């Protein structure tokens, strides 16, 4: 039976007990609305740890003023069932006023990794991510944390934050889980209409076209970006926020392609914003 914990102090006390007992703790941080992508992370945590904790917390600090924090889906009962089926021992779902009590004012800055791309489009977003994950790590005391590649920039920021703040945790980034047409699993997919959902397949197809251009011998970023933009332009509801080719480790733009690069796409289809990425090792 998966245990539900709402109390911050209860979670902290239990995690400290696990530490004293030298148990390996695997943590999967989420904002809820769990799907098969989250389940794959929970199953990976189950294989490598004695205790698996799934955190479910819709974090107000990572929502920009124009984004609807209240609209984000909250499905705790369903999330708990999925977490149990995937092998979680604990679902930690604190209330916002318990994680951020009255007088709370200290935050963590995401730094250079958080300034471009999603950081430029969503002011303060990654500072909110870095802050909440640092708190969750402090409360759950993980040996290993599991995050998905779908939110690649976020994954790199969490890994860098853990290294810089000396958290004794290994951050594992696991592959994106996709639907049969290639669309990355995301809780935001539920906002798409049937027609918009059909157009969403252009996102992974654009990434695949960019990768094919690189593997066919292209070594400059501009033609690869143009190839990806051309595919997205074919969808009537698609409005591109950015298409980029970056260094996979720093997320800085690259012009001459070498080593490992990350292809990044952010696009609005109707009112729903989708992001995706693909890592490519340049031959």
Tell me what pLDDT residue 78 has. 96
Average pLDDT (145-167) is: 98
In a domain, 65, yes or no: yes
For residue 252, pLDDT beyond 80 = yes
CA dihedral 74, 189, 62, 264 (to 10 degrees): 160
- For residues 62 and 198, state if they share a domain: no
pLDDT confidence tier of residue 67, bands split at 50, 70 and 90: confident
- For residues 243 and 151, state if they share a domain: no
| pLDDT tens-digit map of 165-177 | 999 999 999 999 9
The CATH number assigned to the domain holding 208 equals 3.30.1300.10
Exposed, middle or buried, 22 (CB in 10 Å: 0-12/13-18/19+)? exposed
Q: How far apart are CA 34 and CA 185, in angstroms?
A: 10
In a domain, 180, yes or no: no
Q: Which domain holds residue 271?
A: 187-278
Average pLDDT (17-36) is: 97
The two three-digit tokens of residue 205, written as one number:
């197809």
Counting the structural domains of the chain, the total is 2
Average pLDDT (78-89) is: 98
| pLDDT tens-digit map of 175-189 | 999 999 999 999 889
Contact indicator for 198, 209 with CB cutoff of 8 Å: no
Percentage of the chain lying above the pLDDT 90 cut:
93
Q: How far apart are CA 229 and CA 242, in angstroms?
A: 9
C-alpha dist (Å) from residue 66 to 23, 110, 131? 42, 21, 20
C-alpha dist (Å) from residue 140 to 63, 108, 125? 23, 18, 22
pLDDT confidence tier of residue 190, bands split at 50, 70 and 90: confident
- For helices 152-164 and 125-140, the axis angle rounded to 10 degrees is 50
Query: How high is the mean pLDDT of the chain?
Result: 96
**Regarding beta strands 238-247 and 260-269, do their DSSP bridges make them parallel or antiparallel, or are they unpaired?**
antiparallel
Tell me what pLDDT residue 122 has. 85
For residue 72, pLDDT beyond 90 = no
In a domain, 179, yes or no: no
Q: Which of 115, 140, 174 marks a domain boundary? A: 174
- For residues 133 and 261, state if they share a domain: no
For residue 68, pLDDT beyond 90 = no
Tell me what pLDDT residue 65 has. 75
The CATH number assigned to the domain holding 85 equals 3.40.50.620
- The residues that are catalytic are 38
Tell me what pLDDT residue 70 has. 84
For residue 278, pLDDT beyond 80 = yes
Average pLDDT (48-70) is: 90
For residue 71, pLDDT beyond 90 = no
- For residues 165 and 132, state if they share a domain: yes
Q: How far apart are CA 28 and CA 21, in angstroms?
A: 21
Q: How far apart are CA 128 and CA 60, in angstroms?
A: 8
Considering only CA atoms, give the Rg of the chain. 19
| pLDDT tens-digit map of 94-132 | 999 999 999 999 999 999 999 999 999 888 899 999 999
| pLDDT tens-digit map of 264-274 | 999 999 989 99
In a domain, 181, yes or no: no
Average pLDDT (142-159) is: 98
């Amino acid at each position: 039976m998966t245990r539900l914990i709402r109390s911050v102090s209860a979670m902290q006390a239990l995690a400290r007990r696990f530490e004293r007992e030298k148990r390996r703790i695997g943590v999967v941080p989420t904002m809820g609305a769990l799907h098969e992508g989250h389940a794959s992370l929970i199953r990976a945590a189950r294989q490598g740890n004695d205790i698996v904790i799934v955190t479910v917390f819709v974090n107000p600090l990572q929502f920009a003023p124009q984004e609807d924090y209240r609209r984000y889906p909250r499905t705790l009962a369903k999330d708990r069932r999925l977490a149990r089926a995937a092998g979680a021992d604990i679902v930690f779902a604190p209330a916002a006023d318990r994680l951020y009590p009255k007088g709370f004012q200290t935050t963590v800055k995401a730094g250079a990794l958080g300034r471009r791309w999603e950081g430029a489009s969503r002011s303060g977003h990654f500072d909110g991510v870095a802050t909440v994950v640092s708190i969750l790590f402090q409360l759950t005391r993980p040996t290993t944390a599991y995050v998905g590649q779908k939110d690649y920039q976020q994954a790199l920021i969490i890994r860098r934050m853990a290294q810089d703040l000396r958290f004794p945790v290994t951050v594992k980034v696991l592959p994106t889980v996709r639907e049969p047409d290639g669309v990355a699993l995301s809780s935001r997919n539920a906002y798409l209409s049937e027609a918009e959902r059909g157009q969403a397949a252009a996102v992974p197809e654009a990434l695949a076209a960019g990768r094919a251009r690189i593997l066919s011998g292209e070594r400059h970023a501009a033609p690869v970006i143009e190839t990806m933009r051309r595919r997205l332009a074919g969808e009537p509801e698609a409005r591109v926020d950015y298409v980029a080719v970056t260094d996979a480790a720093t997320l800085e733009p690259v012009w001459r392609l070498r080593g490992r690069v990350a292809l990044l796409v952010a696009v609005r289809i109707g009112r729903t914003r989708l992001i995706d990425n693909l890592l490519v090792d340049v031959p």
